[in-house]
Structure 1
Amino acid sequence: MHQAWNRYAFIRFVLFMALGIVTGTFLPDIYEFIFFLFSVISVLYLTAQFFRGYQFPAFQSISFAVLAFLICFSFGYLNAYWQSEKHDQTHLLHANVGEIEAFEAILVNAGKNTEKTHGFKVEVQRVLINEKWQNYSGNAMIYFQKDSLSKRLEYGNQLLIKSSLNELAPPKNPLEFNYKRFLGFDQIYHQQYVRSGKWRKLAESKGGFIMASSIKTGQYLEAIMNEHIKDERSLAIAKALTLGIKDELDNELRSAYASAGAMHVLAVSGLHVGIIFLIISTILSRWRNHKKGRVFFAIINISVLWAYAFITGLSPSVQRAAMMFSFIILAQAMRRRTNIYNTLAASAFVLLSINPFLLFSVGFQLSYLAVLGIVFFQPKLYGLLQFKFTFLDKIWAITCVSIAAQLATAPLGLLYFHQFPTYFFLSNLVVIPAAFVILNSSLILLISSFWEWAAEWIGYLIDHFIQVINFLVFSLDYLPNSTIDGVFINTLESWLIYLAVFFVALFIAEKKLNYFKLTVLSLFLMSISICWRQYQNFQEKQLIVYDTGQHHALAIRNGFSQYLQVEEGLAQDKNKLRFHVYPSQLEAGIADFHPDRFEPKNQQELFKDFKGLKFSVWNNKRIIHLHKEIDEDLIFEHPLEVDLIIISNNALRKPSKLHDYFNAQKIVLDASNSYYNIQNFKAKFEEENLDYYIVPEKGAFEWKL
């Protein structure tokens, strides 16, 4: 095993480098120590190289290994620290963004259209504070109100924007998607909505020439597809699969492909670059193994892969896949005595050296795990069955690829998306060959667009072929139990599953029983973690007032049962329910709640309605929920003693009236109240030194008993 492990040197380098990146991202305060450590071990390593081979070879071997791993760790840490722009004292995070009156910025991506806005990533160059320009800089997301002028904005435009900036807010509900951290890994920490007339174009073509050319080329090719593919969904699929443009995929289409386990087809990445690689390799197969043709084969193949990356807008996912395949092609061309795992690790090492924050990208993680799974498990699965007929053999080969990829990516899918597609092996039998056909035919359409008659027919065939594929995917979605959803595992449990998969791989490779025992141990520890978490959920008694924007949502839990009060408008908005409420429901193990199947009338009623008041006694705590104005004829001799009052929908407009009815230990105002009403109550509460909580300011209110 030791000799075998020595063949995978780059894997160890990447592992230590990744550990350094994680440490550098979340523990930046030890920068000086790590810099000192890096300097010392670099000198020691060079000194050890000078005296190499004199005495104690075993000790030297261990010393070189330890020093090399420490260098990789330190390099990963320092690279993450140096490339994190927020450590620069002139970054926007060190400015008072609330005082910004205006700022100059350059649009640095192609933009994304929504129903009401044009969204761009911008690079802020300087800001105007107190009528003085200051050199604060950084990236931000700017959403321009849709109009005839904002429609013409494009990559490289330099703008003067009369607006302040808002720092991205952390999640406001338990386990809600952390959009702030997600954009932070892309060096974006601010955002702003800009109304019409609040910006002016200063200059054009301020961006990089290569990126500008890539975007222009992509837009030109997009216009060709718009002209020749008529059906909206077929066009959306073709553009997503060929050019990486996913803005036009509707939620129903995304959901159907995700449930069928075929969402990877709609994101241009390793599969699509692999298809291009397969096409070119087939065309140039006679040169591949020829002594003088290997270099020619490598140059043409790599050139075509990066040309495809160019027309797809040089998106990070395509660049990642192109880099991965480029390393594989180069290794084959040079006939180096290496292996695919080292080659993949080398490509990851280069990518993480360029951008260390790719490590936190879900796409990066899934891409490398899928490839590793396919490389290791697919040949072993494929060898289990033999078929005489070529057609059956191809079906079995694709099925093995699907199973291998799922083995490697399923734990991550459960961690991030909480679902598992049960018919993935059937959907991939359809979508992988379909992706090959659509990608090839779309490229032929783009190439032959100058010949109008041919382009019309090719577009017609692509259109109807995709409609058939969509019908098959939607049919799989309608099958019973097509998706196992509502699965919750935490990060520790996902790591334990991956440990089990790793030990299974070692057991298959080494045929040693100890690895099987370690597999069982990993799964046993995962089971203990799940059981302990569920036991804690069973013991929990909690009240949550969610922050959902304009609607109120209230949950009262007792173990695995709960009362959930959701306003009608929110109940109809499944996306908001899924984003704000569903994550905490999953963690708590609430089995009877799902956003797509939620009906307010079917929920257990815990409050009694009395003349506009909703009143409940729960765990000896008296709770009042004011969700509409109190009846005028309601009179108490003395203010009612209550433990908690929740005010929603501006049900109480005068703070003074609160004392006419209640004497409350705690007062909560949720996000369904108006800003004016909240500020009015807040001033009164502070004046009287009352215990209060403002949900839209602090996030969800959690009350544990």
Structure 2
Amino acid sequence: MRQAWNRYAFIRFVVFMSLGIVAGTFLPDYFEIILLLFSAIAAMYLSAQFFRGYQFPSFQSISFAVLAFLICFSFGYLNAFWKSEKHDEAHLLKINTSEIEAFEAVLIDAGKVTEKTHGFKVEIQQVLFGGEWQKYSGNAMIYFQKDSLSENLKYGDKLLVKSRLSELEPPKNPLEFNYKRFLGFDQIYHQQYITSGNWLKLDEGKGNLIMAYSIQTGQYLEGIMNEYIQNDRSLAIAKALTLGIKDELDNELRNAYAAAGAMHVLAVSGLHVGIIFLIVSTLLKRWRNRKRGRIFFAVINISVLWAYAFITGLSPSVQRAAMMFSFIILAQAMKRQTNIYNTLAASAFVLLSFDPFLLFSVGFQLSYLAVLGIVFFQPRLYGLLQFEFVLWDKLWAITCVSIAAQLATAPLGLLYFHQFPTYFFLSNLVVIPAAFVILNSSLFLMIISFWDWASDWIGFLIDHFIQIINYLVFSLDYLPNSTIDGIFINTPESWLIYIAIFFIALFISEKKLNYLKLTVLSLFLMSASICLRQYENFQEKKLIVYDTGKHHALAIRNGFSQYFKVEDELAKDKNKLRFHVYPSQLQAGIADFHPDHFEPENQKELFEDFHGLKLAIWEDKRIIHWHQELDKNFTFKEPIDADLLIISNNALEKPEKLLEFFKPEKIVLDASNSYYNIQNFKAKFEEENLDYYIVPEKGAFEWKL
């Protein structure tokens, strides 16, 4: 066993470096200690190398291993700290960006077009702050109002922008997606919307030359596809699959592919780079095993892979996949006595050395897990059945690939996306061969685009072929129980599932019963964690006023049952419900709520209407929801006691009237109130020493009983 583990040196290095990256990201205050530790350990390691082999070989082996792992951990920590721009004293986070008057910025990506904006990632170079230009820098997301001028913006343009910058805000609802942390891993901490007339183009061509040519090439090839593929959905699929352009995919199309377990086809990554690798390997097969031909095979294959990465805009996912396959090709060409696991770990080590925050990328995690799953499980699954008929054999091979990849990535899919595609093995029988056909035919279309007659026919065939594939994918969605939705697991539970999968792999490999026992123990702990969480949910009684942006949303829970009330306009916006509300509903185990099927009129009314007020008694607590203006002549003989008063829709015009009507213990102003009214109310509430809570400022209000 020990000798077997010695073959996986880079796997251990990556594990310890990853631990260091996590520590360096979330525990940055120990930088000086880790730097001193790294220096001391490096000196000890070099000294130990000098005296290596004199005595105590067993002790030396353990010492070298411990020192090497500590070096990897320290390197990961220091690399994460150094690569995090927010530690720079000249970073935008060091000043109050709301006081910025103007700034100079360079556009550093290809941009994303929406219905109303042109969004770009920008690099701020200097800011007008306190009446003078100062050298503060950082990255930001800038959304320009859509007009004829912003349509012409491109990578490398340098702009003068008259505006402040807004720091990204943390999530304002329970378990809501943390967009601030997500962009923070990409060194983006600010954003701003810029209206027309508040920016001026100063220069162009200020970006990286290779990236600029890559984006221009991709845009040129996109123009070819626009010309010859007519159907909008076929064009969107072809662009996403070939060039990695996903902006034109509509929500219905995304949801259908996600539900079928085929979303990976629409994200240019390992599958697509693998197809290119397969094509080139097949064409150069005769050179692969020749002594002198191996180098030629490696050079051509790697060159083609990176050329494909170039035309897709050098996106991180394609660079990651190209790097992974490049290591595999080099290892094969040099006939190194290594294994695929060590080679994959070496590629991950290099990628994380350049960008440690890739570790937190869902794409990075899924890519490597999928490849590891395919490498280990696919051959073993494939060997279970033998088919003489070639077609059945190929179908079984693809099915084994699908099952192996799904087994390795399912826990992350449950953690991030809360669903499991039941018919993934069927969809992959369709979409994987289809991806091969579409990618090859699209690349062929680009090559022969100078020949209009042939291009028209190729474009026509691609268009109708994709329409057939879309029909099949949508058909899977209509099958009974096509997707198991609404699954919630937390991060520790996902780790326990992966530990179980790891022990299953060891059991398959080593044939030792103890590994099977450890698998059962891991699954038992995972099940116990879920049961404990559900028991806590069953005991919980909570009221939540959500922050959904300009709309009212209220949930009152008692165990697994709840009353949920939202405005009609918000009820129709399924995306907002899914983003702001659904995560906390999943965590609480509320089975009868789903954003796609929610209808407000089906909810049992908890409140009683009283002259425009909504009144409820819940757990001996008096709750009043003031959601509309009262009649001017309406009054009470004396103020009513209330444990909780919720004010929505600017129902209270004058804060003085509140104390004429009510004596509240707690006041909540939700997101449907205007900013102007909220500021007026705050001043009055503080003057009267009232206990109040502002949802748009503090996020969702949670009241536990």
Q: TM-score range by the shorter chain?
A: over 0.9
Residues 242 and 439 in structure 1, CA contact (< 8 A), matched pair in contact too? yes
Return the alpha-carbon distance in structure 2 between the equivalents of residues 108 and 692 of structure 1.
43
Return the alpha-carbon distance in structure 1 between the equivalents of residues 584 and 297 of structure 2.
53
Q: Show the counterpart of 1:579.
A: 579
- Spell out the pairing of 1:474-485 with structure 2 (5 A cutoff): 474-485=474-485
Deviation string 1:310-361 (CA, Å, 9 cap, x unpaired) is 0000000000000000000000000000000000000000000000000000
Residue type matched to 1:281 in 2? S
Q: Show the counterpart of 1:643.
A: 643
CA RMSD of aligned residues (A): 0.5
Return the alpha-carbon distance in structure 2 between the equivalents of residues 678 and 136 of structure 1.
33
Q: Show the counterpart of 1:411.
A: 411
Return the alpha-carbon distance in structure 1 between the equivalents of residues 361 and 155 of structure 2.
24
Return the alpha-carbon distance in structure 1 between the equivalents of residues 456 and 128 of structure 2.
53
Q: Show the counterpart of 1:93.
A: 93
Return the alpha-carbon distance in structure 2 between the equivalents of residues 353 and 362 of structure 1.
18
Deviation at 1:24, TM superposition (A): 0.2
Q: Show the counterpart of 1:382.
A: 382
SS in 2 for 1:606: coil
- Spell out the pairing of 1:36-435 with structure 2 (5 A cutoff): 36-435=36-435
Q: Show the counterpart of 2:551.
A: 551
Deviation at 1:661, TM superposition (A): 0.8
Misfit runs of 4+, over 4 Å: none
Deviation string 1:639-660 (CA, Å, 9 cap, x unpaired) is 0000110000111111011111
Deviation at 1:131, TM superposition (A): 1.4
SS in 2 for 1:147: coil
Return the alpha-carbon distance in structure 2 between the equivalents of residues 291 and 476 of structure 1.
48
Deviation string 1:422-468 (CA, Å, 9 cap, x unpaired) is 00000000000000000000000000000111100000000000000
Q: Show the counterpart of 1:667.
A: 667
Deviation string 1:148-203 (CA, Å, 9 cap, x unpaired) is 00000000000000000000000000000000000000000000000000000010
SS in 1 for 2:457: helix
Deviation string 1:279-337 (CA, Å, 9 cap, x unpaired) is 00000000001111000000000000000000000000000000000000000000000
SS in 2 for 1:52: coil
Residue type matched to 2:551 in 1? H
Q: Show the counterpart of 1:542.
A: 542
SS in 2 for 1:282: helix
Deviation at 1:631, TM superposition (A): 3.1
SS in 2 for 1:300: helix
Return the alpha-carbon distance in structure 2 between the equivalents of residues 303 and 680 of structure 1.
64
Deviation string 1:18-54 (CA, Å, 9 cap, x unpaired) is 0000000000000111001000000000000000110
Return the alpha-carbon distance in structure 2 between the equivalents of residues 549 and 95 of structure 1.
27
Residue type matched to 2:445 in 1? L
TM value normalised by structure 2: 1.00
Return the alpha-carbon distance in structure 2 between the equivalents of residues 79 and 549 of structure 1.
38
Return the alpha-carbon distance in structure 2 between the equivalents of residues 659 and 71 of structure 1.
65
- Spell out the pairing of 1:447-462 with structure 2 (5 A cutoff): 447-462=447-462
Residues 17 and 77 in structure 1, CA contact (< 8 A), matched pair in contact too? yes
Q: Show the counterpart of 1:29.
A: 29
612-621 or 344-353: which moved more?
612-621
SS in 2 for 1:104: strand
Return the alpha-carbon distance in structure 2 between the equivalents of residues 609 and 484 of structure 1.
39
SS in 2 for 1:595: coil
Deviation at 1:633, TM superposition (A): 4.5
Residues 141 and 188 in structure 1, CA contact (< 8 A), matched pair in contact too? yes
TM value normalised by structure 1: 1.00
- Spell out the pairing of 1:496-511 with structure 2 (5 A cutoff): 496-511=496-511
Residues 635 and 661 in structure 1, CA contact (< 8 A), matched pair in contact too? yes
Return the alpha-carbon distance in structure 2 between the equivalents of residues 4 and 608 of structure 1.
70
Residue type matched to 1:606 in 2? L
Residues 143 and 193 in structure 1, CA contact (< 8 A), matched pair in contact too? yes
Unpaired stretches in structure 2, ≥5 consecutive residues = none
Deviation at 1:604, TM superposition (A): 2.1
Residue type matched to 2:169 in 1? A
Deviation string 1:369-391 (CA, Å, 9 cap, x unpaired) is 00000000000000000001000
Deviation at 1:632, TM superposition (A): 3.7
Return the alpha-carbon distance in structure 2 between the equivalents of residues 602 and 513 of structure 1.
53
Q: Show the counterpart of 2:693.
A: 693
599-608 or 347-356: which moved more?
599-608
SS in 2 for 1:562: strand
SS in 2 for 1:106: strand
Return the alpha-carbon distance in structure 1 between the equivalents of residues 604 and 635 of structure 2.
29
Deviation at 1:130, TM superposition (A): 1.9
Residue type matched to 1:193 in 2? Y
Q: Show the counterpart of 1:591.
A: 591
Residues 414 and 488 in structure 1, CA contact (< 8 A), matched pair in contact too? yes
Identity between Structure 1 and Structure 2 (%): 81
Residues 18 and 359 in structure 1, CA contact (< 8 A), matched pair in contact too? yes
SS in 1 for 2:54: coil
SS in 2 for 1:597: coil
Return the alpha-carbon distance in structure 1 between the equivalents of residues 515 and 606 of structure 2.
52
Return the alpha-carbon distance in structure 1 between the equivalents of residues 233 and 363 of structure 2.
24
Deviation at 1:478, TM superposition (A): 1.0
Residues 562 and 604 in structure 1, CA contact (< 8 A), matched pair in contact too? no
Deviation at 1:128, TM superposition (A): 0.2
Return the alpha-carbon distance in structure 2 between the equivalents of residues 320 and 73 of structure 1.
22
Return the alpha-carbon distance in structure 1 between the equivalents of residues 524 and 238 of structure 2.
45
Deviation at 1:143, TM superposition (A): 0.2
Determine whether 1:602 maps to 2:602.
yes
Residue type matched to 2:572 in 1? Q
Return the alpha-carbon distance in structure 1 between the equivalents of residues 617 and 689 of structure 2.
26
Deviation at 1:480, TM superposition (A): 1.0
Return the alpha-carbon distance in structure 2 between the equivalents of residues 359 and 264 of structure 1.
19
Deviation at 1:637, TM superposition (A): 1.1
Q: Show the counterpart of 2:615.
A: 615
Alignment length (residue pairs): 705
Residues 324 and 347 in structure 1, CA contact (< 8 A), matched pair in contact too? yes
Q: Show the counterpart of 2:521.
A: 521
Deviation at 1:630, TM superposition (A): 1.8
Q: Show the counterpart of 1:657.
A: 657
Deviation string 1:655-698 (CA, Å, 9 cap, x unpaired) is 01111110101100000011111111111111111100110011
Deviation at 1:634, TM superposition (A): 3.3
Return the alpha-carbon distance in structure 1 between the equivalents of residues 561 and 479 of structure 2.
29
Deviation at 1:13, TM superposition (A): 0.2
Return the alpha-carbon distance in structure 1 between the equivalents of residues 618 and 326 of structure 2.
63
Deviation at 1:584, TM superposition (A): 0.4
SS in 1 for 2:522: helix
Return the alpha-carbon distance in structure 2 between the equivalents of residues 213 and 268 of structure 1.
19
Deviation string 1:380-413 (CA, Å, 9 cap, x unpaired) is 0000000010000000000000000000000000
Deviation at 1:117, TM superposition (A): 0.2
Residues 565 and 600 in structure 1, CA contact (< 8 A), matched pair in contact too? yes
Deviation at 1:524, TM superposition (A): 0.2
